[in-house]
Amino acid sequence: MKIRALLFDLGKVLIDFDFETGVQALHACCAVSRDQLEDLLWDKRWIRRYERGEISTAEYHKYLSQNAQLDMDLPKFRQTWSSVFSPDLIVSENLIAGLKRKYPLILVSNTNEVHAEFLRETYPILNYFDHHIFSYEVGSLKPDKKIFECAIAASGYPAEALFFTDDREENVCAAAELGIHVHQFVSEPELIEALREVGVEL
């Protein structure tokens, strides 16, 4: 079946990020060790709920304030937690703009509310995408099936008419199980080759 729409992961595909910057800044305002802070930050009982939109940024901030003794107000926390993104793009805007002229583009990303807001305000490349399927808005994290089903529904095409790229193996495998054509992202040249192999016009 001919490819009709293209699905992209965001982090490590379009935009790079490094949590080290944010963690360092948070730790400077905490009364616990670096290891203790990281245990709290990545506690799946909290971070997964946050990224599924089950708790707000204010609630996540309150959790860190109470448990890590974080001495940072909410606006500063939002700014600090958004400092993890690189200003440079991984995939060129020229490639995305060219694809947009011929195909609907859909973002499929595990992204919390504060990061989504920052990314939308900071990176114009997101404007090329017809739909933003963010985990916190649909209540589901990749590689769960639901988030991909939301993307399929947004595209208006069957799974077999979609192409998806993501840097994480478990996510491309989950999409492939639904019939989506997939490519595990490594670099732009390899992505271009994968697009050509499935008949995408460049």
Which residue positions in the chain have pLDDT lower than 70? none
The predicted structure's pLDDT at residue 41: 97
Q: How many CB atoms lie within 10 A of CB 128?
A: 17
The predicted structure's pLDDT at residue 93: 97
The predicted structure's pLDDT at residue 5: 98
The predicted structure's pLDDT at residue 2: 97
The predicted structure's pLDDT at residue 122: 97
The predicted structure's pLDDT at residue 78: 97
The predicted structure's pLDDT at residue 112: 97
The predicted structure's pLDDT at residue 95: 98
The predicted structure's pLDDT at residue 179: 98
Task: Please give the Cα distance from 42 to 48 (Å, whole number).
Answer: 8
Full set of structural domains in the chain with CATH? 5-16+86-197 (3.40.50.1000), 19-81 (1.10.150)
Percent of the chain scored above 70 by pLDDT?
100
Q: How many CB atoms lie within 10 A of CB 92?
A: 12
Listing DSSP states for 68-79 in one string gives S-----HHHHHH
